[in-house]
Amino acid sequence: MAVIGATLAFVAQGLSPFRFALARDHFLGTKPGPLPEVETNTTGAALTATNSPLAPLSARLRQQGLQLAESNQVVQLFRDPRRGQDAVIFIDSRDAEHYRAGHIPGAYLFDRFRPEDYLTNVVSVCLAAQQIVFYCLGGDCDDSEHAALLLRDSLHLSNEKVFVYGGGMNEWAAGGMPIELGARNSGQFTNLAQSATAPGPGGTNR
């Protein structure tokens, strides 16, 4: 716990809206086993096709060393038994109001515009996780991309375990997947699409 606290202190001290340096993993005593392969299919291949609406996002993420996760892959990771042990985690990169209105069940909140408020909740789980899925609203929302870069670079996370869910909450809700309301692990669920698109302060969505 003392080392985790020191890690948080170093991150908070060097915090900036862009990137900040942090020493590589100091405290994990055991290394996780080999990552199981995530199944791919023709849908995943189609993401990189020139006629895919996610093609520009996929190309941009690749340039930055990030991986684009498509819907089938995200559902597979959500149903992975390792999620119960935080070996697979989801990080909601929106603000607290959107998070409370509806998030992927069990997701951690990390608002990149107020990172100092959420570092305590995400640093240790990100370091220990084998696969991390960042998401925001989807579409033109790029909060998940920036949050992934911020935490990857500050915590020296390997590219192989960082994913960005391009479809975001809009796609998740439209697919009828479960949506958790309120706090993390609140036990309150719905799958109404409007919970994902509730406007935030000032009537804007992100």
pLDDT at 134: 98
Q: How much is the pTM? A: 0.73
Highest-pLDDT range among 17-31, 47-61, 150-164: 150-164
pLDDT at 8: 53
- Residue at 76 is within a domain: yes
**What average pLDDT score do residues 152-179 get?**
96
pLDDT at 24: 39
- Residue at 35 is within a domain: no
- pLDDT tens, position by position, 84-120: 999 999 999 999 999 999 999 999 999 999 999 999 9
- pLDDT tens, position by position, 40-85: 443 444 334 446 778 899 999 999 999 999 999 999 999 999 999 9
**What average pLDDT score do residues 112-136 get?**
96
Higher pLDDT residue, 24 or 180?
Answer: 180
- Residue at 157 is within a domain: yes
- Residue at 161 is within a domain: yes
Q: Which CATH number is 157's domain given? A: 3.40.250.10
- Residue at 39 is within a domain: no
pLDDT at 7: 52
Tally of domains in the chain: 1
Q: Which domain holds residue 148?
A: 52-194
pLDDT at 53: 78
Beta bridge partners of 179: 190
- Residue at 34 is within a domain: no
- Residue at 199 is within a domain: no
- Residue at 132 is within a domain: yes
Mean pLDDT of the chain: 79
